[in-house]
Amino acid sequence: MLSIDNLIVNYAQVEAVRGVSIFVGTGEMVALIGANGAGKTTVLHSVMGLLKPKAGTITLKGENLVGRPSNRILDLGVALVPEGRQLFSHLTVQENLEVGYGRKFRMRFDRKGFQSRLEKIDGYFPRIGERLNQIAGTLSGGEQQMVAIARALMSDPDLLLLDEPSLGLSPLMMDTVIALLTRLHGEGMAILLIEQNARAALRISQRAYVLDSGRTTLDGEARPLLNDPRIQQAYLGL
Amino acid sequence: MAFNILLQQLLNGLTIGVGYALVAGGLAAIFGIMRIVNFAHGEFFMIAGYVLYYGMSVLGLPYFAAAALAIVAVVAFGYLIQRLTIEPLMETDPLNTLLATFALSLFMFHSVVVISGSGGRTIDTPFDGVITLGNVILTEQKLLVMVAGVIFLGLLAVFLSHTPVGKQMRATAENRYAATVLGIDVKRIDRFTFGLGIALAAVAGVLIAPLTPLVPSVGTAYTLKAFAVIVLGGMGSIPGAIIAGVGLGMVEALTAGYLSSAWKDGVAFLVLITVLLTRPNGLFGQGVAH
Ligand SMILES: Nc1ncnc2c1ncn2[C@@H]1O[C@H](COP(=O)(O)OP(=O)(O)O)[C@@H](O)[C@H]1O
Ligand SMILES: [Mg+2]
């Protein structure tokens, strides 16, 4: 489904990503782990068209993504839940979801389509219905993360990219997020999950890549990686 | 008797204030969403007045037709400016757009001076009657400013809160990065915002220009007032700009009525400084993000 090949991305002086190759199959859940500054966010931003790679290719279902604007990449079925949630905190929960659903430049809103999409995702987020009219900035951190995921799902993606969704969440809330991702994956969604919490990510993913200073240093099936001494030492604190 | 004077000044203040609210509301939208400082904003107000004047005097159009022509022409011109100069500069140093709009304001001002001279132009609308309510008098044109101004501001509020594009504008103003991630075409939002902001200035121009003889320097004066208003209202806050605009108009009118019209700008800026000393982000500001 998503194929990243030999990606190289520079910021003015910094070589952030130096030849990364990542593959996510249809309906597959893949984890991308690595320390702070390893280049994880840069990879996701390149996929979303927010950064222009220096070299390498990114394709989705065989279509080239490099050079396309973000709105076109969403049209192709990719959505990103950005690091730090990035809700529109002065807007209501419903308005956040509406913006996620109706991203086209239109004067009329497809209210029916929105409602049916909302009903579809309602099952994933049991309490979101009661919160629709609340200002997003007044929700708790965990609730905000749920709205951020819900907002990304409004565009009905086939591939969901998540950038450290468990950051700053209580263990209980984190379990809720993990359960949600497992369920989405179970229903056929492809997921590329960035996590600093390597243990949780490796437990629910099928495969994983380890990123270090802009390079993939390890990759393979997720389960064996959990027991790999190099991972245990560096990322699991064992 | 004293009450009548107060009422009279409040009505005058409301007229001026609605004009400020329109001009500053557009400036606030442009600043809030595009993060650019449009130094030429008041010049669009001024140009609209001149197109109105020539539309009526040279083309012989009736007031409303000439006003519509002026709004359309000014918005088209503004859109062209946005695409040709502002948009290409948006990704560069913010100072560039500031300098570009400053240059644009000089260009617009001097072009009008060359074409029309710096003397005043009088625009005669059909609303030259006077309405008397007890001891309070109101010209029909002032009534039109208030009624039309309030309608346009109301439409703006409904647009921002109820249409998808309005919500996208508010979302982009708050978090441009998240808006881009969600697939909002932020470039298109920018173009639309600039056009809308200019349209509001043009609406104010065609309503207010007939109240006093029109001179080219009115543009710069409105730019300064509009900046004072958006600082007062909280940078980039559109509701803040509208409330602060009406408030500033009132303060000016009351100062002119009770003190002297020579004091009105002085008192207006005194209010601005006082508010900023006590509320540095303005009355409704959340401060600029980042
Ligand atoms: N906007 C930027 N400008 C310059 N350098 C950046 C920028 N964003 C990230 N970097 C650098 O690129 C590297 C990778 O960053 P990032 O992709 O955010 O890592 P991660 O998400 O794994 O923490 C880091 O060294 C970081 O300092
Ligand atoms: Mg990161």
The predicted model gives B236-247 an average pLDDT of 91
Q: Is A197 in the pocket of ligand 1 (CB under 6 A)?
A: no
Q: Give the end of a domain, one of A108, A129, A156.
A: A156
Mean per-residue pLDDT of chain A: 91
Domain that holds residue A149: 86-156
**Where along chain B do its domains lie?**
11-119+130-278
Q: Smallest CA–CA separation between B67 and chain A, in Å? A: 25
Of B199, B197, B195, the closest CA to residue B83 belongs to B195
Q: pLDDT tens digits, residue range B43-94?
A: 999 999 999 999 999 999 999 999 999 999 999 999 999 999 999 999 899 8
A214 CA closest ligand 1 atom index: 14
The predicted model gives A11-15 an average pLDDT of 89
- B140 vs A: CB within 8 A: no
Backbone phi, then psi, for A86, in 5-degree steps? 55, 45
The predicted model gives A158-185 an average pLDDT of 92
The predicted model gives A21-28 an average pLDDT of 95
Q: Are residues A62 and A105 in the same domain?
A: no
Q: How many percent of chain B have pLDDT more than 90?
A: 76
Q: Which residues pair with A29 in a beta bridge?
A: A191
The predicted model gives B184-207 an average pLDDT of 97
Q: What value does the CA radius of gyration of chain A take, rounded to a whole number of Å?
A: 18
The predicted model gives B4-13 an average pLDDT of 89
Least confident range of A121-130, B141-150, B247-256: A121-130
B230 CB neighbour count, 10 Å cutoff: 31
Q: What is the pLDDT of residue A237?
A: 62
- B178 vs A: CB within 8 A: yes
Q: Are residues A167 and A227 in the same domain?
A: yes
Confidence of residue B4 (pLDDT cuts 50, 70, 90): confident
Q: What is the pLDDT of residue B288?
A: 44
Using an 8 Å Cβ cutoff, are A115 and A182 in contact? no
Residue A32 tokens, joined:
């991308």
Q: Are residues A146 and A38 in the same domain?
A: no
Q: pLDDT tens digits, residue range A50-97?
A: 999 999 999 999 999 999 999 999 999 999 999 999 999 999 999 999
Q: Which CATH architecture has domain B11-119+130-278?
A: Orthogonal Bundle (1.10)
Q: What is the pLDDT of residue B264?
A: 83
> Looking at residue A46, which CATH number applies to its domain?
3.40.50.300
This complex has an ipTM of: 0.93
Centre of ligand 1 from the C-alpha of residue A16, in Å: 6
Place of tokens 């951020």: A148
Q: pLDDT tens digits, residue range B116-136?
A: 999 999 999 899 899 988 888
Q: Are residues A100 and A138 in the same domain?
A: yes
Confidence of residue B290 (pLDDT cuts 50, 70, 90): very low
Q: Are residues A73 and A35 in the same domain?
A: yes
Chain A residue set in contact with B, beta carbons under 8 Å: 48, 50, 69-71, 73-75, 80, 82, 86-91, 95-96, 98-100, 102-109, 151-152, 155
Give the Cα-Cα-Cα angle B102, B68, B159 (nearest 5 degrees).
75
The predicted model gives B217-242 an average pLDDT of 91
State CA B51 to chain mean position distance.
17
Q: Are residues A165 and A189 in the same domain?
A: yes
Q: What is the pLDDT of residue B69?
A: 98
Q: Are residues A161 and A236 in the same domain?
A: yes
**Partner residue opposite A90 with nearest CB, options B165, B168, B174:** B174
Give me the DSSP letters along chain B. -HHHHHHHHHHHHHHHHHHHHHHHHHHHHHHHHH----TTHHHHHHHHHHHHHHHHHTS---HHHHHHHHHHHHHHHHHHHIIIIIHHHTTS-HHHHHHHHHHHHHHHHHHHHHHH-SS-B----S---EEEETTEEEEHHHHHHHHHHHHHHHHHHHHHHHSHHHHHHHHHHH-HHHHHHTT--HHHHHHHHHHHHHHHHHHHHHHHGGGS-B-TTHHHHHHHHHHHHHHHH-TT-HHHHHHHHHHHHHHHHHHHHHT-GGGHHHHHHHHHHHHHHH-TT-SS------
Q: Are residues A98 and A109 in the same domain?
A: yes
Q: Determine the residue type at B186.
A: V
The Cα B2–Cα B8 span in angstroms is 10
The Cα B223–Cα B228 span in angstroms is 9
Q: Which residues pair with A22 in a beta bridge?
A: A4
Q: CB neighbours of A17 closer than 8 A, spacing ≥ 6?
A: A7, A8, A9, A39, A42, A43, A46, A53, A214
Q: Is A166 in the pocket of ligand 1 (CB under 6 A)?
A: no
Chosen from A52, A74, A103 to mutate, greatest number of chain B CBs within 10 A? A103
Confidence of residue B258 (pLDDT cuts 50, 70, 90): confident
Q: Are residues A161 and A238 in the same domain?
A: yes
Q: Is A11 in the pocket of ligand 1 (CB under 6 A)?
A: yes
Instruction: Using CA coordinates, name the residue in chain A closest to B184.
Output: A103
What ligand has the least distance to the C-alpha of A164?
2
Count of domains in chain A? Answer: 2
- B179 vs A: CB within 8 A: yes
Confidence of residue A238 (pLDDT cuts 50, 70, 90): low
Least confident range of A203-212, A222-231, B188-197: A222-231
Q: Give the end of a domain, one of A126, A156, A186.
A: A156
The predicted model gives B160-169 an average pLDDT of 94
Q: Give the end of a domain, one of A156, A176, A201.
A: A156
Mean per-residue pLDDT of chain B: 92
The predicted model gives B221-250 an average pLDDT of 91
Name the closest-CA residue to atom 16, ligand 1: A39
Q: What is the pLDDT of residue B105?
A: 96
